[in-house]
Chains A and B, each alone.
Chain A
Amino acid sequence: MTFQTSRQTVARSMDAWNWLAVPTLTCFMLTLLLALPIRVFGLVPPEPVFLMVPAFVWAVIRPSILPPFILMVSGLLLDMLWGAPLGLWGFSLLFGYAGVLASRSFASGQGQSMNWVWYAITCLIVELTAYLATLIDVQAAPSLVGAFWQWAVTAALYPFAHQLIERFEDADVRFK
């Protein structure tokens, strides 16, 4: 009976709304807020890739069929919001997601600091993919300094990713 109850709880917490829709919508709201033309004391706010957090978390928690397609659609919406070439962020995020999926068997289960390093490396892969895709697409090199800053502020978002991992890590024990 107890087993049944716990399984029902797990099923409720792992439904698509909780672990897929809510993080995606939250990321879009935050991206939209930071895209508003507001300067604070003359300073321009940073522009992190918030969708990097769910892209990392979804691959760490468990492999699934839905997240890649959600990432692609979210990437397209991000391209439209930022005015980027269509497919740039969808492709880059999927590249990072695939990297995490490939490395999760030997990288998962580590401490928080190692996970942060893993997340930062994934951010670097995503940023490099976007850099190379832009380089090939427009045949001009984007600013390395700008790409570095975007990587740095995106890598600094790991605490949010950690919270999501803590929340959903035990939801599906098949992939522990």
Chain B
Amino acid sequence: MSFRDGPFQDLKVPLTWAAAMAVIVAGVAALGLLLSDRRETYRDEAYGAGRVVIDRVLVPTADVLLTPADWARSLGNGIGDYLFAVSENRRLKLENARLRQWRDAAIALEDINSRYRALLGVKIDPPIPMVTARVVLDARGPFTNTRLANAGEDMGVRVGHPVMSDAGLVGRVVGTGPGISRILLLTDVASHMPVLVDRTNARAILSGDGGPNPTLDYLRGIDPVRNGDRILSSGDGGVVPRGLPIGTAVKGLDGYWRVRLSSDSVPIDLVRILLFKDFTDLAAQKTLQASKMPPLTDVPPPVTSSSVLPPALTSKSAAAQVVAAVAPKPSASKPAVTKPASAFAKPIAPTPAPVKPIAKPSAAAAEPVR
């Protein structure tokens, strides 16, 4: 016998109040989760095990759902290739001719660059390994712009790794698991990327807002950017390597400088995840810290002169006070010599030379104090 058919069938349950209480309890729980979430941080644990489990379910499901789309795309590409083979061939020949000129220029520049590097002893960053991944889900709403790719921590992908398409930077990894990685796009409202204007070397922060064109914030200087300027990653902070193409600058209708992303111009199905580590991480920090600096044998004496003092301090008493402050304990007999080698065991405290009281500011200016 069910509850309704029993003796309690006429009992009026205050369902509206119970539902209201349920709304409040569920709402508070959701709000607590929202306030504690930090998906945009660089911490591995911020992504959470629950997300990884769901993503691991989503990747094969989306793969299956994408199969008919892949077939349709292959069919369309095949028909297009067949119909437009001649025009495509002409276009490719022209492009090939242009690229040959660029190749010659690149060879010449590479030669000059290698000579400069040899002369200056410049150490360039090592080549960055990368992993190719397929995007299986694409969230593109106003509050979230992320992609789910099918390469994860088992292939070396870590939180913070930059992600590129054929045309330019797409975003960075914010969560990984076995066989999955979540990519936060440059257009996401939580995305902030340090960039530079290629023409002027001006720095800015590229901030997403959920729209297709992120804004250039914190631009400084006079006329730092113009329409059509190329925007590259600046590498500041060591999150992404310097010089990755991002897009071109455009002035928005709202008056803000925005960036038309290069990655929008190509299909979004395949991405490259750069297994980038900051060059400071690549260096053996322990070795660097263990090596001792060469002994400090010749510390120049402190230079005080009224020529370097502001005019207000050039009077006799004021100058004497400043000199006394700079050279606290003048030793009249000892020359200015520091002890070598043992300086590493103790803090370096150079013994200053004796200082004569300055009689006249003009004389002091002509003859530096020793």
Q: Which residues of A contact B (CB under 8 A)?
A: 7, 11, 32-33, 35-39, 44, 47, 62-69, 71-72, 75-77, 80-88, 90-91, 94-95, 97-98, 101, 130-131, 133-134, 137-138, 140-143, 145-147, 149-150, 175
Contact = CB atoms under 8 A, between A and B. Distances in A.
Given A68-B23, A86-B48, A35 B143 contact: no
B128 interface: no
Question: Across chains A and B, which 4 residue pairs bring their CB atoms closest together, nearest first?
Answer: A146-B142, A83-B146, A87-B34, A87-B33
The secondary-structure label for the interface of chain A is helix
Among A7, A76, A86, A150, max chain B CB count under 10 A is at A86
B31 A87 contact: yes
A37 B48 CA distance: 24
A148 to B, nearest CB: 8
28 contacts: A32-B65, A32-B137, A36-B137, A37-B135, A37-B136, A39-B268, A65-B15, A65-B22, A68-B26, A69-B22, A72-B30, A75-B30, A80-B51, A81-B54, A83-B39, A83-B174, A83-B182, A86-B37, A87-B34, A90-B33, A91-B30, A91-B31, A98-B20, A140-B207, A141-B189, A143-B209, A146-B142, A149-B142
A37 B138 contact: yes
A104 B40 CA distance: 39
Contacts, number: 178
A98 B19 CA distance: 9
A88 B143 contact: yes
A62 B15 contact: yes
B147 interface: yes
A66 B18 CA distance: 10
B37 to A, nearest CB: 4
Interface of B: 2, 4, 15-16, 18-20, 22-23, 25-27, 29-37, 39-40, 48, 50-51, 54-55, 58, 61-62, 65-66, 69, 135-144, 146-148, 174-175, 182, 184, 189-190, 207, 209-211, 267-269
Contacts of B175: 83
Given A83-B174, A101-B16, 9 more contacts: A36-B65, A38-B66, A65-B19, A85-B37, A86-B39, A87-B30, A98-B23, A142-B209, A147-B143
Contacts of A133: 34
A142 B143 contact: yes
Contacts of A38: 66, 69
A47 B141 contact: yes
